[in-house]
Amino acid sequence: MRRSEAALRVAGFLLCASLLSCMLLPIQSAPGATGIVVDAATGEPIEDAIVVLRFDGSYNDQLPDRQHIGHAETTTDPSGRFSVDRYSRAGITIWPYFHSEARVVSVLRNGYRCPTPIQISEDAGSLRIEMTEAFDREDQRSSCRPVAAKRGEAVAYSAAWRQLFPTGATRKERDRSRQLDRVLEARAELGFGRNCEGPVLDLSIAPDGNRAAIVAIGSEGPEVQILDLKAGADPRPRSVARETIDPPRRLAWSGPEELILWQPARAADRATFPSLFSKDQFQVVWASIPSLPAALAELDDRPPNATAVGARRRPILPGDLSDEADRRWHGRSFVVERALDPETAGVRERLRVTREDGRRYSIDLPGERCGSGGRFGRPQYRISADGRSGLDLRYVDDGCHAVRIDLETGDWDRIDASDSPGMCRGQRRIPPGALATALRGWTRDLESALDAAGADRGAAYSLRIEPNGKTQVRARAYDGSPVDLEFQTFPVATPLRRIDVTNVAPATRGSRVTPGANPASVEPL
């Protein structure tokens, strides 16, 4: 839409509201769907496939954020056909500016891979959904995702999806798997990704996949930067705002053309206020049409130049925006596999990809996961428009950086321009059980050494770790006198230089140092 036309529509919207010539309808509605589900190889209809639709609405250029309406599900008949009526629910909309849409977010049938989600327009005809036969149950599991529907909206699908995941493993095997998960999680707590932050603090990708935004620490403090991901575009990030980024404020795109800092309302506030008047707080930090937020300010009873959006504007739901990227899955599925890294004794992550044709391959993810929500477990939220690149926050090059990963080859490169190292915690307290879980054999040997030195193993003790991993232990004897001993090299690559092993909670946050620096002198326990 041209800018002038958008301005006219905004002006008309405001005039309409002021003259009460537009209707505030107490119904939100989205299109339904009809179609047929068939076997991709034979063309034969598939009976008893569970089809789930998701319904959303938006005000397009006037209010670019999307509003989730609901889900609906149905089952195909013997001829493979299904039909879902138009979906409606109670909720205020401003007619005629509210545009609704629907998506087939999943189709589940035993023996088949779940197909790529399909977007449905108001004038869409009958759909033809082709399903590919799965090689095995694991192949089907890797293609089917849970549907985050409200209670009662996708009962059959949720039940069928849960049945996919019991593996039939013995209780001993399940216990071993859970124990490995605990060990990996505990070791991750000792690594760089959990104990360091910056220079990149947050990452968000636009719904159309053409832009990314990061919060990076610059010479003058945190700043919001935008990067153009389109082929041939200038790859250098450009600063658009300097803001204080205090959790839980997060970067989020309310649409392809507007970037916000978003802070969700508390659950109690959401329950108290209708969705139109939610107490979510967010601030517009960048928009491609500068005049648009100013025009919308009048709807919020704000000064035209204000950017902080108050409680009256309709809330943003960044979690829902991930569905915009469904079309960029291209029928693939992604699973993160975690294992012990033999080089660092930490956690190694691999991304297993299953293509729509069933071909599988894995790629190594660089460094460690880091930053706010820097988990690659839901890469659909971070797939760029080309469909081949995934974006994530990973601890590489001595800092938490925004990286672009080729989802075919595993090659990666940094997309931020910051050369600052990460700021790392040099000291922390952990309970004895957490250390024993992370480093069971090492901790067992340490306890034996403490016994031999006459130390009270029931009392707190501290580990001093040098950059090369050499470890010194300061403990207490039963009479309270200090016990010092040198011990084995600390087995995990870590920025921590002192670990207090105690069940006493810390009174203050640990000091922060750059990787490799020596911590400040601290009195022993």
**223 in any annotated domain:** yes
Least confident range from 31-45, 88-102, 411-425, 432-446: namely: 88-102
Residue 112: CATH number of its domain: 2.60.40.10
pLDDT of residue 500: 94
Residue 273: what pLDDT? 46
Confidence of residue 381 (pLDDT cuts 50, 70, 90): low
Q: Is the residue at 13 inside a domain?
A: no
Residues 387 and 452 both lie in one domain: no
Token pair recorded at residue 160: 């069928």
Residues 324 and 416 occupy one common structural domain: yes
In the listed set 420, 442, 461, which residue is the last one of a domain according to the structure? 420
**In whole angstroms, what is the distance from residue 371 CA to residue 245 CA?**
13
Residue 260 shares a structural domain with residue 203: yes
- Across 44-173, the runs of DSSP E, i.e. the strands, are 50-59, 63-75, 81-84, 87-95, 99-108, 118-120, 127-131
Predicted local distance difference test score (pLDDT) of residue 235: 83
Is residue 9 one of the residues assigned to a domain? no
Ranges 305-319, 376-390, 489-503: which has the least confidence: 305-319
Positive or negative, the CA dihedral 222, 248, 56, 315 is: negative
Same-domain status, 451 and 490: yes
381-385 mean pLDDT:
78
Query: Does the pLDDT at position 18 exceed 60?
Result: no
Q: Residues 485-500: what's their mean pLDDT?
A: 94
- What is the domain extent for residue 339? 193-420
* DSSP classification of residue 157: H
Tokens at residue 220, please?
């003058």
The reported pLDDT for the residue numbered 26 is 53
Among 365, 399, 420, residue at a domain's last position: 420
pLDDT of residue 449: 94
388 and 482 together in one domain: no
What percentage of residues in the chain have a pLDDT greater than 90? 29
What would the pLDDT profile of 331-359 be if each residue is shown by its tens digit?
A: 777 778 888 888 888 889 998 888 877 67
In whole angstroms, what is the distance from residue 345 CA to residue 38 CA? 48
Q: Pick the residue with more confidence: 89 or 402? A: 402
Residue 177 covered by a domain? no
Q: Are 352 and 360 in contact (CB under 8 A)?
A: yes
Mean pLDDT (whole number) for 146-160: 84
Is there a single domain that holds both residue 379 and residue 437?
A: no
Lowest mean pLDDT among 96-105, 177-186, 375-384, 444-453: 375-384
Same domain? For 299 and 431 the reply is no
Q: Which of 360, 391, 420 is the last residue of a domain?
A: 420
- CATH number of residue 507's parent domain: 3.10.450
Q: With 90 as the cut, is the pLDDT of residue 412 above it?
A: yes
Same domain, 331 and 378: yes
Residues 34, 431: Cα–Cα separation, whole Å: 57
Across 302-322, average pLDDT: 41
- pLDDT class for 505, splitting at 50, 70, 90? low
Q: Label residue 8 by pLDDT band (50, 70, 90).
A: very low
> Residue 335 forms beta bridges with which residues?
352
Q: Which of 11-25, 147-161, 241-255, 373-387 has the highest mean pLDDT?
A: 147-161
DSSP lists the bridge partners of residue 203 as 214
* Shared-domain flag, residues 396 and 459: no
pLDDT for 311: 34
pLDDT at res. 464: 96
Residue 173 banded pLDDT, cuts 50, 70, 90: low
The burial of 125, by beta-carbon neighbours within 10 Å (0-12 exposed, 13-18 middle, 19 or more buried), is given as: exposed
Measured CA distances, 377 to 42, 43, 146, 182, 399 (Å):
33, 33, 13, 17, 21
- Does some domain include residue 235? yes
- CB neighbour list of residue 111: distance below 8 Å, 6 or more residues apart: 133, 134, 140
* 255 and 355 part of one domain: yes
Has residue 4 been placed in a domain? no
Range with lowest mean pLDDT among 109-123, 165-179, 382-396: 165-179
468, 328: one domain:
no
Asked, for residue 483, whether it belongs to a domain, the answer is: yes
Over pLDDT 70: what percentage of the chain?
Answer: 69
**Judging by DSSP bridges, how do beta strands 211-218 and 81-84 pair with one another?**
unpaired
Model confidence at 139, pLDDT cuts 50, 70, 90, reads confident
At residue 27, the pLDDT reads 59
Burial of 371 (C-beta count, 10 Å sphere; 0-12/13-18/19+): buried
Of 24-38, 74-88, 306-320, give the lowest mean pLDDT range.
306-320
Q: Is residue 169 part of a domain?
A: no
Q: What is the reported pLDDT for 92?
A: 52
Residue 316: which pLDDT band, with cuts at 50, 70 and 90?
A: very low
Residue 313 has pLDDT above 50, yes or no: no
Is 524's pLDDT higher than 50?
no
Asked whether residue 438 falls in the same domain as residue 292, the answer is: no
pLDDT at 490: 94
Q: How many independent structural domains does the chain possess? A: 3
Mean pLDDT of 362-388: 74
Higher local confidence (pLDDT), 179 or 363: 363
DSSP 8-state code for residue 455: B
Strand 461-465, strand 498-501: pairing: antiparallel
pLDDT number for residue 101: 74
